[in-house]
Amino acid sequence: MITLKEVKTKKDLKNFVTFPFKLYKDSKYWVPPIITEEMKTFDVNENPVFHDAEATLFLAYKNNEAVGRVAAMINWLEVNGQNIKKMRFGWFDFIDDLEVSKTLLEKVEEIGRKHNLDYTEGPVGFSNLDKVGVMYDGFETRATMVTWYNHSYYIKHYEALGYNIEKSYSESSFSFSNVDPKVFVKLNDIVTRRYQLKALNFTKTSEVMPYVDRMFDLFNDTYAKLSSFVAVTDIQKEYFKKKFIGFVNPEYIKFIVDKDDNLVAFAVVLPSFAEALQKAKGKLFPFGFAHILRAKKNSKSAIFYLIGVHPEYQNKGVHALIFNEFYDTFKEKGVETCVRTPELDDNIAIKQIWKHFDATVYAKRRTYRKNL
């Protein structure tokens, strides 16, 4: 018999966050979060997403042992502002027991019906800056710090429980040594002159900060038409500035501005922290922080986390300016592999940005939907 327990105490929350550590203890591909940081994600006093969203967390038990978990979420900006009556769920992990996954998802569906929502979709987070999708291909590749990893049996559970494919995503990578700078150097010169644009490079985080709010505004403009998009609010901007920007190498942030200093494009790249996080085993101390700092300085993989071009400048070659700047930075840093995080398969704009790069898809993922 499966019993559900709603997460209400700090001890419950830690059990929720650490459940995958047991489920994936023998996996060399799963990348653990930092436990304290993951717990803050669900702290209503820490994460400003809770100004406009709510979440209820559940743990499933069998014979007094944790066997599954799920976060049931409602983003009220999406429901009321966009009239998309979606019940979100994520952080969905479980042993290979259909009764476990069924019990967890039925609880999600129950909450959705209680709030008169139309359908459930997952696995997703609160917004587009969270992890997304269940893997259905690429299980023998290590996850990144910004993606979920899952066992291959997850897919059959979704299908058995009446869930249908909602969105599809691809992750890809390419070797930096195969990048021919001639592809974008010439275009860089043409576009710079034609539109009077210039690239901004940084060596200090303090230099980046004055532009970060504008970056998130442009992020909102760039992705507004995507079916899954929920805008980043002003209070969330402050949160992400404090939580993430300081961890990004300033030289891995590139902005493109016009003659009036208006931001028209941006890209944020992360060093790969995956191996460091595996070594840290969920803890910053005593050695985890050192592993992360070492990766920040020496990682040979670069992960394109965010990239956007203003709608008025899309399909005009502006991406060439971004890649021209990154080419010099990556060459100096000794970067060997460039990784693209999950991209919607129907995101035509992002495909145009990457069309000159010979990338290989290494993982595929989906979200699943069920009408209520």
> What is the pTM (predicted TM-score) of this model?
0.93
| Of residues 40, 32, 55, 52, the one with CA closest to residue 10 | 40
Number of DSSP helices (H) and strands (E) in the chain, helices first: 12, 13
65-104 pLDDT per residue, tens: 999 999 999 999 999 988 999 999 999 999 999 999 999 9
Of the listed ranges 36-45, 221-230, 289-298, the one predicted with least confidence? 221-230
Amino acid at 196: Q
Residue that the structure tokens 């008169």 belong to = 116
The residues, ordered by sequence, that sit 6+ positions from 159 with a Cβ below 8 Å of its Cβ are none
HEC states along 336-364?
Answer: CEEEEEEEECCCHHHHHHCCCCCCEEEEE
| Of residues 331, 342, 338, 333, the one with CA closest to residue 356 | 338
Mean pLDDT of the 128-145 span = 94
- Helix intervals (H) in 202-342: 205-223, 234-243, 274-280, 288-298, 319-333
The span from the CA of 233 to the CA of 214, in Å, is 12
Lookup: tokens for 82: 């966009």
| Of residues 109, 103, 108, 112, the one with CA closest to residue 66 | 103
- Helix intervals (H) in 224-303: 234-243, 274-280, 288-298
CB 89 within 8 A of CB 109: no
The span from the CA of 21 to the CA of 353, in Å, is 37
Mean pLDDT of the 51-76 span = 97
181-202 pLDDT per residue, tens: 887 888 888 889 999 999 999 9
149-173 pLDDT per residue, tens: 999 999 999 999 999 999 999 999 9
Can you list the domains of the chain with their CATH numbers? 2-171 (3.40.630.30), 180-356 (3.40.630.30)
For residues 11, 13, 18, 19, the Cα torsion angle rounded to the nearest 10 degrees is 100
CB 55 within 8 A of CB 42: yes
pLDDT band at 126 (very low <50, low <70, confident <90, very high): very high
pLDDT at site 317:
86
213-266 pLDDT per residue, tens: 999 999 888 887 776 678 888 888 888 888 888 778 999 999 999 999 999 999
